[in-house]
A = this chain, B = another copy of it.
């Protein structure tokens, strides 16, 4: 016997889920495969069971709640991720997982009463380590699912705390051995994490493509010495060089004018990091992003020139350990059209738009037709405990995802290609 799937139940369940790993300021701190993430996963597994979804956990901790409504057919997957950044918001990822679970349970219950209506099976999904804050890179679980990396490579990855993915997942009891359900198609709903929908008074964003991104790992090499006894002309201060790199990234972003290029350094680790020691090394993670590939390549070249200037000044050596391009690619037109029709049919105000941030759907769209939906983020605040969307915004999104899933399960995306 499944439990009710009402709007009120959704909001109550979202509040319950948000309490797991909650911070005093209204956010969550639930990094991948930590104890808090484990509790959220246990909560979701119980939810799956109570609502008639059959839990599966694959080798890299991706969780599926499966319902077989079309024997032997591949699955419409609906989901997002439960892990969070440190001291982050409660909506990012978790909203999409719960909405996916509600949509899956709702559609499964409907088609169960109408033999032959379902052309595909349906499953909710919680992808492992979308955020990449504890284990780098991000989008890990979905990358294994689509074959961009291997389960072994992911399991061997060691996090910032020195623990491997294998050990971290084992400790929380989520390194599974279930076979992942094969996909027919995928839909994900997420907060926008920007201000476009709010500024334009819209309910829904239908994502057309992802921004291109260069992600860098950079090490600045200097030489350790005494801050109190080493004259300035003898110094090779890695922190001075790394500070120049941070400002170079900012300068690249500024060169391209308003809202064109994003540039940031998020992780920045100083060695040996003692008050009276001139730093020997700084390791940092930088990114440069733009809507189109041409612009991001121009930003990349500008960054390389600036790095060469910093090394050329002679105090430090800046080593680019890796520079990985995530290209801008489109979501399938069939999915964009479907989601737009659904929003129209529901009387919602929507627009097509790119996603600036990465999402698991960026991986999934390489494998199967994929629909990506946004709801508004108040003030565009994200990766911050003040992240917020209203109940009405969440429910409008839930209804859009559910109706989209309903049509996908009954065959609306039959232009599907397979990998």
* Contact of A226 with B383 in the complex, beta carbons under 8 Å: yes
CB of A342, distance to nearest CB on chain B (Å)? 24
Q: Is residue A267 contacting chain B, with contact meaning CB distance below 8 A?
A: yes
User: How many residues on the A side are at the interface (Cβ–Cβ under 8 A)?
Assistant: 76
Contacts of A195 in B (CB 8 A): 231, 234
Q: Known: A228-B289, A230-B194. Is A266-B273 also a contact (CB below 8 A)?
A: yes
Provided the pairs A247-B243, A267-B274, A275-B133 are in contact, do residues A262 and B383 lie with their beta carbons within 8 angstroms? no
User: Is A86 located at the chain interface by the 8 A CB criterion?
Assistant: yes
Contact of A279 with B by CB under 8 A: yes
Query: Interface 1/0s, chain A 247-274, versus B by CB < 8 A?
Result: 1001001100011011111111111111
Partner of A275, one of B87, B136, B231, B234: B136
Using Cβ atoms and an 8 Å threshold, which residues of chain B touch A215? Answer: 275
**Interface residue ranges of A221-255 to B (CB < 8 Å):** 223-235, 237, 239-240, 242-244, 246-247, 250, 253-254
What are 14 A-B contacts defined by CB distance under 8 Å? A85-B276, A88-B224, A88-B277, A136-B275, A226-B357, A229-B355, A229-B356, A230-B382, A231-B259, A233-B258, A240-B246, A242-B243, A243-B246, A266-B273
**Which are the 5 A-B pairs with shortest beta-carbon distances?**
A193-B229, A243-B243, A133-B274, A227-B264, A86-B272
5 A-B pairs besides A247-B247, A274-B383 with CB distance below 8 A are A87-B224, A227-B289, A228-B262, A240-B247, A276-B287
